[in-house]
């Protein structure tokens, strides 16, 4: 079995050298394909180009801002060799993000926590550090190049619909090298995550309870909305109650923030988490409007 690592890097990120070096120096990867052109290519198109250039039986997609842990590729290879029914496999970020600062640490640890809460069978996919058998990838047509965001989630949904078994193994890890600003986090969560994910759900006529769409996430969004409403209406009791509910619902995540960021960082993280949920709530009417407008057309 040959394992090909594919890294889209059409924007020539500063993190690319660390990403590629980790793949080349580790064990388990037979070839590394870095796609740097065309510069205007979307991530989906760049990954498809890389897949077309590769020779592997299994395609390992890695974001250019991820430094893969040394043993991760070999563990991926062994998982596919051990289980011929396994079609796709993806991992998670580790709990020690490279970028420092409250927002960067919070956002990267949130992603880490979400993946660690949902190990096992999945109906989605992740190209931060995810692998898929070439034949299955080609059978569903690869990534959809028309998508600006969440082309990996879309691929996972199509693979799952075809009967493929996908597994999330959060012990397969890489270090996220990305720096986040508050503005960048809000923009990405709104336009790059919440809206397109909602559109995918509406397109397929269903809803998902996996990863960050589970019941805890939805109740947390309601708690954040109630807290914001309490602030606007100047009702301190509502704010305290809603914030308490948010803390109880996410106590394991906030415990992680406390361990990694200390008291001050964890306290700020509660506020950032509320913002994260409020952005998701704000995206719902926008996604609905886009969906029904497209349906009328």
Domain CATH number, residue 120: 3.90.550.10
Compute the average pLDDT of residues 131-144: 98
Q: Which of 156, 179, 202 is the last residue of a domain?
A: 179
Quote the number of domains for the chain.
Answer: 2
Percentage, residues of the chain above pLDDT 70: 97
Q: What is the pLDDT of residue 174?
A: 97
Cα distance between residue 182 and residue 114, in whole Å: 20
Q: Which two tokens stand for residue 93?
A: 């970020």
pLDDT, one tens digit per residue, over 237-249 is: 999 999 999 999 9
Compute the average pLDDT of residues 140-162: 95
Cα distance between residue 216 and residue 222, in whole Å: 10
CB 7, CB 54: distance < 8 Å: no
CB 275, CB 259: distance < 8 Å: no
pLDDT, one tens digit per residue, over 106-133 is: 999 999 999 999 899 999 999 999 999 9
pLDDT at 209 over 70: no
Report CA dihedral (131, 133, 138, 144) to the nearest 10 degrees.
Answer: -20
Q: Is 71 a domain residue?
A: yes
Let me know whether 127 and 234 are in one domain.
Answer: no
Let me know whether 78 and 126 are in one domain.
Answer: yes
Let me know whether 146 and 290 are in one domain.
Answer: no
Q: Which two tokens stand for residue 88?
A: 């796709």
pLDDT, one tens digit per residue, over 180-206 is: 999 999 999 999 999 998 888 887 765
pLDDT, one tens digit per residue, over 61-77 is: 999 999 999 999 999 99
Find residue 68's DSSP bridge partners: 174
Q: Where in the sequence is the domain holding 39, given as residue range(s)?
A: 3-179
Interacting residues of 166 by C-beta distance below 8 A, sequence separation 6+:
87, 88, 89, 90, 121, 122, 123, 124, 125, 156, 159, 160
Let me know whether 155 and 251 are in one domain.
Answer: no
Q: What is the pLDDT of residue 215?
A: 81
Diameter over CA atoms, the chain: 62
Interacting residues of 271 by C-beta distance below 8 A, sequence separation 6+:
none
Q: Which two tokens stand for residue 6?
A: 């594919």
- Helical spans, DSSP H, in the chain: 16-25, 43-53, 72-82, 102-117, 134-139, 151-161, 182-187, 195-203, 215-232, 236-249, 251-296
Q: Are strands 31-35 and 3-8 parallel, antiparallel or unpaired?
A: parallel
Let me know whether 164 and 270 are in one domain.
Answer: no
Q: Is 82 a domain residue?
A: yes
Q: Is 269 a domain residue?
A: yes
Whether residue 10 has a cis bond before it, omega within 30° of 0 = no
CB 134, CB 59: distance < 8 Å: yes
Range scoring the smallest mean pLDDT among 15-29, 188-202, 206-220: 206-220
Cα distance between residue 45 and residue 94, in whole Å: 27
Give the predicted TM-score (pTM) of the model. 0.93
Let me know whether 130 and 250 are in one domain.
Answer: no
Q: Are strands 120-122 and 58-62 parallel, antiparallel or unpaired?
A: unpaired
**Among 72, 60, 76, 27, residue whose Cα is nearest residue 131:** 60
Q: What is the pLDDT of residue 210?
A: 52
């Amino acid at each position: 079995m040959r394992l090909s690592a594919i890294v889209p890097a059409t924007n020539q990120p500063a993190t690319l050298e660390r990403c590629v070096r980790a793949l080349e120096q580790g064990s388990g990867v037979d070839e590394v394909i870095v796609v740097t052109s065309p510069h205007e290519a979307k991530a989906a198109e760049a990954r498809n180009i890389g897949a077309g250039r590769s020779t592997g039986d299994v395609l390992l997609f890695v974001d250019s801002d991820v430094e893969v842990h040394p043993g991760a590729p070999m563990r991926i290879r062994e998982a596919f060799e051990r289980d011929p029914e396994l079609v796709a496999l993806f991992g998670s970020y580790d709990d020690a993000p490279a970028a420092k600062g409250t927002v960067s640490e919070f956002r990267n640890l949130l992603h880490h926590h979400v993946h660690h809460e949902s190990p096992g069978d999945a109906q989605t996919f992740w190209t931060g550090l995810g692998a898929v058998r070439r034949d299955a990838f080609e059978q569903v047509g690869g990534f959809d190049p028309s998508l600006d965001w969440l082309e990996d989630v879309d691929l996972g949904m199509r693979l799952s619909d075809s009967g493929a078994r996908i597994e999330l193994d959060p012990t397969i890890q890489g270090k996220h090298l990305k720096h986040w600003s508050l503005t960048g986090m809000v923009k990405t969560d709104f336009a790059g995550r919440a809206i397109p994910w909602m559109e995918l759900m509406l397109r397929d006529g269903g809803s998902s309870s996996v990863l960050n769409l589970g019941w805890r996430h939805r109740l947390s969004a309601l708690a954040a909305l109630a807290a914001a409403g309490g602030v606007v209406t100047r009702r301190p009791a509502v704010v305290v109650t809603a914030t308490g509910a948010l803390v109880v619902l996410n106590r394991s995540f906030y415990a992680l923030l406390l361990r990694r960021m200390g008291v001050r960082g964890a306290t700020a993280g509660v506020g950032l988490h509320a913002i994260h949920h409020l952005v998701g709530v704000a995206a719902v009417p926008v996604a609905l409007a886009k969906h029904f407008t497209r349906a009328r057309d």
